[in-house]
Chain A
Amino acid sequence: MTTQGFFFKLAHRLSPGAWLAVAVIMALLATGSGWVLYSRLDEKGKDRLVLAYESIGPFWRETWRLTFERKKEGSAELAGAIRIAPVGTLDPDASFVWVTHFSDFVSLPEDEAFPEPLAPVRLLDPEWNPAFSPR
């Protein structure tokens, strides 16, 4: 004879599908009642509610990050850091795939990169007023 607790029996009274339906209905009820409550609040109340939500949000996110993401990274030190260069670039003992070949690119000829101006440099100078003959 097995002695099973109240919650175990309750969990098995309905099928998983029925429990899913209960969960969906409850979620809808919670959302609906939340929306009704929110719409009935005055402006200050809404501000406070949003502030509370915004204060709690980072707490959960940080809790999640500090609990799981450090382990995932394998290095507590670099948790949350954004990387572009290979990890350990400034570490003298780090091991890498060494460079055995590389390809240089062909740059533009210097003449094209720094073209000589065709028009006189002073052309755009408002102070320059060349004396010229109309002929």
Chain B
Amino acid sequence: MIFFTKPLLTMQWLRWMVGVCLAFALQVSARASEVLEPVYLYASPLTTAFFSANGSDYDTLKTRWRAYLKRFGKSYREVSRADLVGGLKPGVLILGSAVLLDQSERQAINDFASRGGSLVLTWGTGVRDGSGRWSGYGFIENLLQVKVRGKLEVSDEEHFVNTFGDSPLTWGLPAGTRLFLGLVGETPLRIEGPQLAGRYFNWSRIPVDKANNGAIAYLEHGKSRRVFIGFSEASWEFDDRMELPKALDSMMSWLRREPRVFKAAWPNGELSAQLLEMDTEDRFPNALNFARDLDSAGISGTFYSLTSVAKSHADIVRQLSDKHEIAYHAEVHVGFKGKSREEQESRLATMVEDMKGIVGSRALTRISGFRAPTESWDANTEQVLRKLGVRHHVADPASSDSRLPFFSASEPGLSSEDAIVVLPRTQMDDLNFLALKLGTEAASAMIVRDFDYLHESGSLGVLSVHSQNYGEGGLMALLTPPYVKRLQEHRHDVWSATGREIADWWRSRERVAVKELGRSVSDKGFQVDVRAPGVMKGLTLIVTHPSATQPLKAVVSGRADQPKPQVQRLDDQRSAIIFSEELKPGQYGYSLEF
């Protein structure tokens, strides 16, 4: 008997030991990724003394953090030098433009970080020593592993920061949100680094050199998370729309190691979207050249057609409509903005009549896109268009401060089901390239850089070309094929679609609401509400990881009959949850395992 019981006992003991070890490991791992609660605002006495001795007031910068932290309900504590040097327990330490730091403070900050504390550095933090003498950008560069490329001059044009959408840091704002930084004496610092969440651009987002326009950087090093914001708190004054606090909220979540779940901009785990379109007007037959380039890459585009010209090329329109979308570009090439409602109604009715003559009344119901000649339109235009069955509108770069679709506000109170979806053209078009008078090589480099910028920020790219510029040997006929090739290289993470497909997706995305459940790694989950009508396919949610070493492992379904989403790791900091199966209207609940 004893021969049997002894091995059994040994096995039980082993099982017990394994259980204890596992429980211990789980506890340690949970502790490592606990949400960091304390938030400290460093009241740098040296910087205060320096500003004061030189006729300034450091409090003016610091007080913006106070306002943010109080208004948004974060419990925070202002800490003194003695507190810092004495050692703070891990939390988020904000070093808001703390220009002067002496050796003890630097050491204390490094120690704090090595104990797992998170850091926020802004502008010129640590560029001067304890007496105020220049010590360089080494403190920023070492902590963030970036290179400071100098400062933005007041005379420079890049006084706008564009944030990255769906990024672990700035997902609180739509992709490519343009924030004006003002013409402040505290000129922003340009940085170059591997992990950015924002870049400086001029208003029209001319794609300048990548090495010089980093604005927000982040790094996870060991147990510490760090963020550097290249512009000072003085620039916050210019944030009229109160967008910056939304970005700060998502930054704080990341710094506190709080996993977050949010709706991605694009379906099926795609990271950005691209519409390739032609304003098809003069030299209409050149549309076939553009179609040929798209066909060779298996991409469908949209041809916004000037109906008075298209009437004479009905055969070409029908040929294009086999693989591409046909849409309206008005009846004549004259803008609408400021024209009376009656005149606009009359013109747009003519446009629809023309199109009916070209494609026939049956196919007319599929024509649901519009692009205004010279990008000139107003609220009346959209109101009339909606009544004529138009569902999307490719608008000018000034129509939005972000680089994502949005619902038209021309008729306030309309539901997202009825409102026109506006696709802002925030990318340079052929007319912009021609105006710059660049050689083919320089223009080609610029257009590819433009793609890289919109892709890294998770934006919608709208590459607009004109038929008159797409003749054999024309600039756009030379630039588009390499651009299309670039899209093909990104086939796995860029969604190339027609205007109608993008608008339909945006409308169905709006029917989904995501509610986060729990805050910490151990109890994190989410609930998805899908609203009628229709079903949702391709819904993608992004989850930020509590740490680079704790990625999302699994999504556990709350009920057996719920669709099971796939988990796709995007990078160290986030994963995508992709619902490839259809989601019917209803409520779905899931918990997360890290």
A77 to B43, CA, bound (A): 31
Contact with B along A49-69 (1 / 0, CB 8 A): 000000000000000000000
Is B526 engaged at the interface, CB distance under 8 Å to the other chain? no
B185 near A108: Cβ-Cβ < 8 Å: no
Contact with A along B42-84 (1 / 0, CB 8 A): 0101101111011111101100000000000001011111110
A45 to B29, CA, bound (A): 73
A82 near B154: Cβ-Cβ < 8 Å: no
Is A15 engaged at the interface, CB distance under 8 Å to the other chain? no
Contacts of B49 in A (CB 8 A): 99, 101-103
A97 to B54, CA, bound (A): 6
Contacts of A90 in B (CB 8 A): 124, 127, 151, 187, 189
Is A87 engaged at the interface, CB distance under 8 Å to the other chain? yes
Contacts of A97 in B (CB 8 A): 53-54, 132
Smallest CB–CB gap between A76 and chain B, Å? 8
Contacts of B55 in A (CB 8 A): 86
Contacts of B232 in A (CB 8 A): 84-85
Contacts of B54 in A (CB 8 A): 86, 96-97
Smallest CB–CB gap between A51 and chain B, Å? 13
Is B378 engaged at the interface, CB distance under 8 Å to the other chain? no
Residue of A nearest to B137 (CB): A90
Smallest CB–CB gap between B69 and chain A, Å? 12
Residue of B45, B48, B128, B186 near A83 (CB, 8 A) is B186
A103 to B136, CA, bound (A): 25
Q: A85-B97, A90-B127, A96-B50 are in contact. Are A107 and B154 (CB under 8 A)?
A: no
Residue of A78, A80, A89, A100 near B99 (CB, 8 A) is A89
A94 to B100, CA, bound (A): 15
Would you call the interface of chain B mostly helix, strand, loop, or mixed? loop
Q: A77-B155, A89-B124, A107-B83 are in contact. Are A84 and B134 (CB under 8 A)?
A: no
A84 near B185: Cβ-Cβ < 8 Å: yes
B124 near A82: Cβ-Cβ < 8 Å: no
Contact with A along B525-546 (1 / 0, CB 8 A): 0000000000000000000000
A66 to B83, CA, bound (A): 48
A80 to B56, CA, bound (A): 17
A98 to B49, CA, bound (A): 9
Is A114 engaged at the interface, CB distance under 8 Å to the other chain? yes
A59 to B54, CA, bound (A): 35
Contacts of A107 in B (CB 8 A): 43, 77-80, 82-83
Is B285 engaged at the interface, CB distance under 8 Å to the other chain? no
Contacts of A87 in B (CB 8 A): 185
A106 to B86, CA, bound (A): 13
Is A81 engaged at the interface, CB distance under 8 Å to the other chain? yes
Residue of A78, A105, A113 near B154 (CB, 8 A) is A78
How many chain B residues touch A (Cβ–Cβ < 8 Å)? 52
Residue of A nearest to B64 (CB): A84
Task: Give chain B interface residues in 289-322, CB to chain A under 8 Å.
Answer: none
Is A74 engaged at the interface, CB distance under 8 Å to the other chain? no
B77 near A82: Cβ-Cβ < 8 Å: no
Contacts of A79 in B (CB 8 A): 154
A105 to B17, CA, bound (A): 52
B51 near A86: Cβ-Cβ < 8 Å: yes
A63 to B75, CA, bound (A): 49
Contacts of B130 in A (CB 8 A): 99
Is A104 engaged at the interface, CB distance under 8 Å to the other chain? yes
Is A5 engaged at the interface, CB distance under 8 Å to the other chain? no
Contacts of A96 in B (CB 8 A): 50, 53-54, 132
Smallest CB–CB gap between B167 and chain A, Å? 27
- Bin the interface of chain A by size: 20 to 34
Is A126 engaged at the interface, CB distance under 8 Å to the other chain? no
Task: Give chain A interface residues in 1-28, CB to chain B under 8 Å.
Answer: none
Contacts of B133 in A (CB 8 A): 98
Residue of A86, A99, A103 near B56 (CB, 8 A) is A86
A84 near B45: Cβ-Cβ < 8 Å: no
Q: A86-B50, A102-B49, A107-B83 are in contact. Are A114 and B37 (CB under 8 A)?
A: yes
Is A110 engaged at the interface, CB distance under 8 Å to the other chain? yes
Contacts of A98 in B (CB 8 A): 53, 131-133
Is A134 engaged at the interface, CB distance under 8 Å to the other chain? no
Contacts of A81 in B (CB 8 A): 154, 183-185
Is A130 engaged at the interface, CB distance under 8 Å to the other chain? no
Contacts of B45 in A (CB 8 A): 102-105
Is A120 engaged at the interface, CB distance under 8 Å to the other chain? no
Task: Give chain B interface residues in 12-64, CB to chain A under 8 Å.
Answer: 37-38, 43, 45-46, 48-51, 53-58, 60-61
A99 to B56, CA, bound (A): 13
Smallest CB–CB gap between A100 and chain B, Å? 7
A61 to B392, CA, bound (A): 42
Q: A78-B185, A104-B80 are in contact. Are A85 and B51 (CB under 8 A)?
A: yes
Residue of A nearest to B148 (CB): A90
Is B182 engaged at the interface, CB distance under 8 Å to the other chain? yes
Task: Give chain B interface residues in 106-140, CB to chain A under 8 Å.
Answer: 124, 127-128, 130-134, 136
Contacts of A94 in B (CB 8 A): 134
Smallest CB–CB gap between A110 and chain B, Å? 7
A94 to B56, CA, bound (A): 15
A85 to B98, CA, bound (A): 11
Contacts of A85 in B (CB 8 A): 51, 56, 58, 61, 97, 99, 124, 185-186, 232, 234
Q: A78-B154, A97-B54 are in contact. Are A84 and B60 (CB under 8 A)?
A: yes
Contacts of A93 in B (CB 8 A): 134
A113 near B185: Cβ-Cβ < 8 Å: no
Is B220 engaged at the interface, CB distance under 8 Å to the other chain? no
Smallest CB–CB gap between B38 and chain A, Å? 6
Contacts of B83 in A (CB 8 A): 107
Residue of B56, B134, B154, B237 near A77 (CB, 8 A) is B154
- The residues of B with any CB-CB pair to A shorter than 8 Å are 37-38, 43, 45-46, 48-51, 53-58, 60-61, 75, 77-83, 89, 97, 99-100, 124, 127-128, 130-134, 136, 151, 153-155, 182-187, 189, 232, 234, 237
Query: What are 13 A-B interface contacts by the 8 Å CB criterion?
Result: A77-B153, A82-B234, A83-B234, A84-B184, A84-B186, A86-B50, A86-B54, A86-B56, A92-B134, A94-B134, A96-B132, A102-B49, A107-B82
- The residues of A with any CB-CB pair to B shorter than 8 Å are 77-87, 89-90, 92-94, 96-108, 110, 113-114
User: What 14 new A-B contacts, CB under 8 Å, besides A84-B57, A90-B124, A102-B49?
Assistant: A84-B61, A84-B184, A84-B186, A84-B234, A85-B51, A85-B232, A89-B124, A98-B53, A103-B49, A104-B45, A104-B80, A104-B82, A108-B77, A113-B77
**Shortest beta-carbon contacts, A-B, top 5:** A83-B185, A86-B54, A113-B77, A102-B49, A97-B53
